[in-house]
Amino acid sequence: MNQQSAVKVLFASAEAAPLAKIGGLGDVAGALPPALRQNSAGKLDIRLFLPFHAEIKRKEPQLGYLGAFSVPYRAGTFSVELYVTMVQGVRTYLLDSDVFNHHSPVYHGDPGLDGRKYASFSVALLEASRFLDWRFDILHANDWHTALAVYALKTLYKNDPFFKETRSILTIHNLPYNGYGSESAMTELGFPAGTDPDLPEWALLTPLPLGISAADRIVSVSPNYTREIQTRDFGCGLHEYLQKNNQKLSGILNGIDTKVWDPARDPLIPYPFDSTAISGKALNKAALQRELNLEENPEIPLLTVVSRFDYQKGIGLIFDAIPENVRKSWQMVLLGTGAPDLEARAADLIREYPHKIVSLLKYDEVMAHKLYAAGDIFIMPSLYEPCGLSQMIAMRYGNIPVARATGGLQDSIINYHADPDNATGFLFTEKTYEGLVSALNSAILVYRDKPTWAKLMQNAMRADFSWNASAQNYLELYRDLINQRGN
């Protein structure tokens, strides 16, 4: 960066791998800050701020205790204890308070409880920086959980000299999750209702739109999703706002942590492999077939799913597609948790199609690595997908995605039907199980053509999904904000 002293960035997130990960936000917050540090040639002082979730406490990270401070709110103060740990070279602050933490899961799933947890965390992280006397230049918030920190800078802390020079970026990872249900917590904390005349009425006490309106820059996690959220179909009621304010909106495609997701060095898979020594992949497949009591046969394509079971992911399309396809030769392993109705359907499949379909209804990091490594085809029929990391991970492990052409899936997968020479997967557009069935059939047909499939695997495994390019884009944004501040 073009500055004498390092630019200071406060990176705020609800989750960050490996300390706490529920989905892709955890991957991003775990990998982007170290990538930004590495790509900045020492010109960036980026620090991560997280709630000290019970899940992190159970992992017993090496900690330093920094002390306690008070956070003012409308009716008094609440107390927060501050701890520090290092994660991949990034100074990581863990904030603990009985208002938003003790024994609580990363997400309660209850809008009121989550609203209280993250509204208070958003204010507390600003006070933590004051307690540390660390005047950061840029607040980089992520999703609705920390969007209120951005809004707080423009409201509660508007005239506070400590934050006078602070600028803000808000990355949108998932627009529909907007923090609705936080109203009473916000009121309790003293947040005023929004006054931006461009925001719809329902958004005036809703964290994500308020953060969007207050942020100096907004980033969405893929160029295609950035276009999509400016349309009625994907904009969740904010498309007009985003169209009107699109000069502060940009799309930066996520990367993946290529050290964690590296088939050549992955300690969680039995047989390492890479694009130059691919034979280990077949050994991983055979090992998984044995482990899960599937027929051990290299010729049967192994279909894999690793996903939150959520409406977004189009999991229902997979279930609908099965009866039509069941007589064909394939095996399928699903790993995921989430919506009870989807879990129930997945459980039924094991009973109906034993030895052909295995449903593992849990969150299991080790099994996820094994599935990426063992699978031939990775199914991701998302109805919408801001970026998607699973398909990138799958490609790196030579597990060819069959995915819907939406959001970041379209930005990261080269469709076999559009460009067979450079293809890395199969894309389909229809939001129907017929669309999925037809894409799966094409993939299985190509799977039988060994040289063509080998080429697909080579292309996919060699694609660059590292954070480097995206980190450069974020650094440029930081630089712009700092430069504008001088004007």
User: Residues in the site for ligand ADP, rule: CB under 6 A?
Assistant: 23-25, 27, 306-308, 335-337, 363-365, 368, 387-390, 393
CB atoms under 10 Å from CB of 386, counted, come to 29
SS3 440: helix
- For every residue of 329-375, DSSP letters joined together read S-EEEEEEEE-HHHHHHHHHHHHHSTTTEEEE-S--HHHHHHHHHH-
**Which C-beta is closer to ligand GLC: that of 127 or that of 385?**
385
Residue 335 interacting entry, from ligand ADP, ligand GLC, none, C-beta within 5 to 8 Å by type: ligand ADP
Instruction: Tell how far CA 105 is from the center of its chain.
Output: 18
Question: Which residue, 137 or 143, is less far from ligand GLC as judged by CB?
Answer: 143
Strand partners, 219: 171, 250
Toward ligand GLC, which CB reaches closer, 280 or 386?
A: 386
Nearer to ligand GLC, 186 or 409 (CB): 409
CB 49, min distance to ligand GLC, A: 18
Residues in contact with 373: Cβ distance below 8 Å, sequence separation at least 6, in sequence order: 263, 266, 269, 271, 273, 281, 284, 397, 399
Nearest distance from C-beta of residue 308 to ligand ADP, angstroms:
4
**Interatomic CA distance for residues 313 and 294, integer angstroms:** 25
What residue 221 binds from ligand GLC, ligand ADP, none (CB within 5 to 8 A, per partner kind)?
ligand GLC
Q: Starting at the earlier edge strand, list the strands of the sheet with 7-12.
A: 64-73, 76-87, 90-96, 44-51, 7-12, 138-142, 167-172, 217-220, 249-251
User: In this structure, what are the phi and psi dihedrals at residue 323, rounded to the nearest 5 degrees?
Assistant: -55, -40
The listed partner (ligand ADP, ligand GLC, none) that binds 368, CB under 5 to 8 Å by sort, is ligand ADP
CB closer to ligand ADP out of 40 and 258: 258
Angstrom distance (rounded) from CA 394 to CA 413 = 11
CA distances in angstroms from 109 to 18, 112, 113, 375, listed in the order given: 21, 9, 8, 31
**3-state DSSP assignment of residue 4:** coil
Q: Which is nearer to ligand GLC, 166 or 174 (CB)?
A: 174
CB 184, min distance to ligand GLC, A: 26
CB of 225 to ligand ADP, least distance (A): 12
Residue 363 contact among ligand ADP, ligand GLC, none, beta carbon within 5 to 8 Å by kind: ligand ADP
Return the one option of ligand GLC, ligand ADP, none that residue 402 interacts with (CB less than 5 to 8 A, by type): none
Nearest-CB residue to ligand GLC?
24
Q: Which residue's Cβ lies closest to ligand ADP?
A: 24
Binding at 370: pick from ligand ADP, ligand GLC, none (beta carbon under 5-8 Å per type): none
User: Which two three-digit tokens encode residue 318?
Assistant: 């997979």
Buried-state track 437-465, b at ≥16 Cβ within 10 A, e below 16: bebbeebbebbeeeeebebbbebbbebeb
Residue 337 binds: one of ligand GLC, ligand ADP, none (C-beta under 5 to 8 A by kind): ligand ADP
- Tokens at 70, concatenated: 């008070």
For residue 388 the two structure tokens come to 């998607």
Report, in Å, the least distance between residue 349 CB and ligand GLC.
24
Contacts of 275 by beta carbon, 8 Å cutoff, 6+ apart: 398, 457, 458, 461, 462
Nearer to ligand ADP, 171 or 213 (CB): 171
Q: CB 333 → ligand ADP: shortest distance, Å? A: 11
User: 467-481: buried (b, 16+ CB within 10 Å) or exposed (e) per residue?
Assistant: beebbeebbebbbeb
User: Which of ligand GLC, ligand ADP, none binds 399 (CB below 5-8 Å, type-dependent)?
Assistant: none
Which residue carries 């969150």 as its tokens?
363
Q: Which is nearer to ligand GLC, 29 or 205 (CB)?
A: 29
Q: Which residues bind ligand GLC (CB under 6 A)?
A: 23-25, 28, 173-174, 221, 254, 385-389, 408
Contact between residue 146 and residue 13 where contact means Cβ atoms under 8 Å apart: yes
Give the residue with the Cβ less far from ligand GLC, 301 or 408: 408
Which residue lies nearer to ligand ADP by CB, 25 or 477?
Answer: 25
Which of ligand ADP, ligand GLC, none has residue 365 at its interface (CB below 5 to 8 Å by kind)?
Answer: ligand ADP
Q: Which does 381 bind (CB under 5 to 8 A by kind): ligand GLC, ligand ADP, none?
A: none
Smallest distance from ligand ADP to CB 369, Å: 8
Give the shortest CB-484-to-ligand ADP separation in angstroms. 31
CB of 224 to ligand GLC, least distance (A): 11
Least Cα distance to 179 among 152, 146, 138, 208 occurs for 208
